[in-house]
Structure 1
Amino acid sequence: MAVLWLLLLAGLPSFLLGLFVWVALQHFLAAEMPSTLKHSVKLRLMHCIIQYLITLGNILEKLRICAMPRFVQFLQGLMAIKKDPNVLVTDMHFGTIPVRLLKPKEVSSQPRRDCYHSLGSLLASETDSVVLMVGYRKLPHYHHPVLTNDCQNASIYFLKNLESFGVDPSRVVLCGESIGGWAAPTVMKTLVSNPSLPRIKAQILIYPLVNFINFQLPSHQQNKNVPFLTRDMLFMCLCKHLAIDISWKDTMLAGAVIPLDKWKKYRKWLSSDNIPKRFWSQDPQPEIIGPFNEAAYLETKHTWSTEISPLLADDKIIARFPETFLVSCEHDILRDDVLLYKKRLEEQEVPVSWYHVEDGFHGCLVLFDKKCFSFPCSVKLTNAVVSYIKGI
């Protein structure tokens, strides 16, 4: 038995190295790098590392050792957290929901703003804000709608107790990035429908997913292989979250899960016709819906709910939304989701500020302080968010 363990330990480094070489060969050259993306070699390398860790996690999952999402979360937990000496951090619970409260240590004479944001420490110190981050429950044990429910319940509790946290009720900001930007409109829908809660001053949505129906938008065609959010990764994550079998992926991509009557009703909001022509490629693929697959529709019909596709919310609800700051990145598969949502808000006369990062890609925001792993677009995007909050 001892000999067997020695052989396994001796072979493990070779296996891990071989796996990395295989993943690198699969993804290093396959990833698409538009000419306007800066530091493309660094981005390719980071993309390969992420794909390597996901592949390793999938192997562990198949061996029934550890679920892939749990493995990725474990690795994230090993990353050192940069502490800001000017920010006071308090971990607490709102009922069963873990939250982290961040506020500047320096005493302010005025009640501070609040915003939800993954870059809480920076925003707390740079904008003199109280920041609440919600520790919503995650995969692999929790699926939709747990994420939005946790964010919604924590938001309601916080809004009912703003004074105890030193927050000005007239200057509250709701913010979400990536999947958080997907949850934020659902939370906002609940908040604006409750007259007993303080009115939200603004919402900040950073490359959010607001449509899980039309995957033939120009950005899906142009950026399907651009790191970090490739089309394969998008479907892997969201199908797990929404409990949809990944085998329906091609059917969903082809639009075969869209009933003709629903397409006629919602085309005005979902169609590529709403995307300005300057965002189209020189040789765009036509938008084709069907042929309809009823079995696939029955498995995926929950994607038509406004909790999953916030773009489909009623006009009366969207018209009550506060002023909104939208951020899109040129080389992001979700770029056109932002453009569709921008048009949707403007049609209901919601004040919209839009910041488009020409050299940006999905996920670049979280790299703003990662030194050698940072990008110019990361810093520009962060500064834009800080500037917007300061101007409220």
Structure 2
Amino acid sequence: MKPLNGRCEQTLPQKSHPFAKGAGEARLRARASPPPVTMKSAAVLLAGLLALTAYYVYLPLPSTVSEPWRLMLLDASFRVAQQSCNLVHFLGLGHHLRALNFLIGAFDQLNPQSSEGVKITDTQFDGVEVRVYEPLAKGGAKLRRSVVYIHGGGWALASARGGYYNNLCSIMAESLDAVVVSIEYRLVPDFHFPVQFNDVLQATKHFMLPEVLARYSVDPSRVAISGDSAGGNLAAAVCQEMTQEENVTTRFKLQALIYPVLQPFDFNTPSYQQNEVTPVLPRFVMVKFWLDYFNGNYDFAHSMVVNNHTALDMSEANAFREHLDWTFLLPSRFRKNYKPVAHATGKAEIIRDIPALLDVRAAPLLAEKEVFRIQPKTYILTCEIDVLRDDALMYAKRLEKAGVAVTIDHFEDCFHGCMIFTVWPTNFSAGFQTRDSYIKWLSQNL
């Protein structure tokens, strides 16, 4: 007991000091300063997280691409958003495309919507929502030229009213001194093909009526139709439809297609193979956009990636095969050493369940030569870093073969979707480069 009492007397704190000495001070030091082992573990953990982040963000890109790290960060952000929305879908909390469109809309709010110099009106053309841009500068008594514009987004994303497209159409209207009509077609997953096509066709036909053109002081001989990506698909399809209709009194002077998606027949063109995991729009994502557009079964996706839906034993597909024979339609510098992928046998149930895969209203590249022959003068913008590059180049070649004047504006250092990325924080030099070239061509030709 005495030794114990002795020890107790030695470890009792003094009344003037709140802490005991000895073991108490050691415990205090332990709490105040983590052991070196803990610091080392934290450093290793941080280094591991940084390495994983770099691994997730990094993508091999061609040496020609401008601002590669910014593009990688954009792509990584988009992948995170997509994977988060896929989780929402998996948990049954909502459709992944609705969730993704919500995120895009929220991000869109970061973009200031300036309309100086342009009058913006939201209205309806024959029941379809549109946004009309009219330059405020007085043009005197002269009639103005006009552009009907259809936004991209895989038939499922973005909006005519969103910051990105609002910015683009405002600049077009002011730069061209033109009336721009941006069509707010209904989106997947609430609506599927052919609703989007019909919306654009309906609104465009209404705008092209002589009395409507007169209301907006538009010269009926100077109207173009244009769109990017899925919007380019709708623009090309509607242009084909309207050129064939005999009761249409006003025709387009031009069509301008920005990296359009034009066919779901062959997902192994050289650009699909070359850019399989390209930023923004990898091949598998494009296949899923098609399936969403047609309300198809996701179980078909992997078969479609390897062209099992258009194998050689598919009589329905064989009728269209020569319309997109890229071994003939593409220049050698784009074909490179890639080989066509055409299996002897495939999954016939895909075409049977999704006949729209071969519908020219969804796949304008599959149209007959007679349809190409009556198309207007055409501008086609393509990017090297894009799975859709060859869709557009084959379309251009078929137009040229049919006797249509075509301008191909190809950008080696640009990527799919870049033209709308001209506002912070996604203000890419590729966006300004492609947008300015596109507007310059319209200015010179419309």
Query: TM-score surpassing 0.5?
Result: yes
Matched residue, 2:427: 374
Matched residue, 2:268: 216
**Is the CA contact (8 Å cut-off) linking 1:97 and 1:136 kept in structure 2?**
yes
Matched residue, 1:116: 148
**Is the CA contact (8 Å cut-off) linking 2:356 and 2:362 kept in structure 1?**
yes
- Once the two structures are TM-superposed, the CA of residue 23 in structure 1 deviates from its matched residue by 9.4
Pick the aligned partner of 1:106 from 129, 137, 140.
137
**Is the CA contact (8 Å cut-off) linking 1:325 and 1:355 kept in structure 2?**
yes
- Once the two structures are TM-superposed, the CA of residue 251 in structure 1 deviates from its matched residue by 1.6
1:301-340 alignment to 2 at 5 Å?
301-340=355-394
Paired residue type of 2:145 = R
1:33-44 alignment to 2 at 5 Å?
33-44=61-72
Q: Does 1:86 align with 2:100?
A: no
Q: Does 1:349 align with 2:406?
A: no
**Is the CA contact (8 Å cut-off) linking 1:256 and 1:290 kept in structure 2?**
no
Q: Does 1:156 align with 2:209?
A: no
Q: Does 1:275 align with 2:366?
A: no
TM-score (norm 2): 0.79
Distance 1:263 1:148, change over 3 A: closer
Q: What is the CA deviation profile of residues 276-326 of structure 1, one whole-angstrom value per residue up to 9, with x for unaligned ones?
A: 111134x42443334222223312332111012111112222211100001
Distance 1:333 1:379, change over 3 A: same
**Is the CA contact (8 Å cut-off) linking 1:272 and 1:287 kept in structure 2?**
no
Measure, in 1, the Cα distance between the counterparts of 2:377 and 2:280: 29
Q: Does 1:62 align with 2:90?
A: yes
Percentage of identical aligned residues: 28
SS at match of 1:384: helix
Paired residue type of 1:36 = T
- Once the two structures are TM-superposed, the CA of residue 236 in structure 1 deviates from its matched residue by 2.1
**Is the CA contact (8 Å cut-off) linking 2:311 and 2:342 kept in structure 1?**
no
**Is the CA contact (8 Å cut-off) linking 1:86 and 1:105 kept in structure 2?**
yes
Matched residue, 1:255: 307
Distance 1:264 1:139, change over 3 A: closer
Measure, in 1, the Cα distance between the counterparts of 2:52 and 2:325: 36
- Once the two structures are TM-superposed, the CA of residue 167 in structure 1 deviates from its matched residue by 0.7
Measure, in 2, the Cα distance between the counterparts of 1:99 and 1:125: 18
Q: What is the CA deviation profile of residues 32-80 of structure 1, one whole-angstrom value per residue up to 9, with x for unaligned ones?
A: 3111111111111111111111111122222232322222222233323
Matched residue, 2:100: 72
1:219-234 alignment to 2 at 5 Å?
219-234=271-286
Paired residue type of 2:363 = S
- Once the two structures are TM-superposed, the CA of residue 339 in structure 1 deviates from its matched residue by 1.0
RMSD: 2.0
Paired residue type of 1:336 = D
Matched residue, 1:172: 223
Measure, in 1, the Cα distance between the counterparts of 2:80 and 2:258: 26
Q: How many residues align?
A: 370
Matched residue, 1:385: 438
- Once the two structures are TM-superposed, the CA of residue 150 in structure 1 deviates from its matched residue by 0.5
Structure 1: stretches of 5+ with no match in the other structure: 1-19
Structure 2: stretches of 5+ with no match in the other structure: 1-48, 150-164
**Is the CA contact (8 Å cut-off) linking 1:23 and 1:51 kept in structure 2?**
no
TM-score (norm 1): 0.89
Q: Does 1:53 align with 2:81?
A: yes
Paired residue type of 1:185 = A
Pick the aligned partner of 2:347 from 278, 293, 300.
293
Measure, in 1, the Cα distance between the counterparts of 2:245 and 2:301: 37
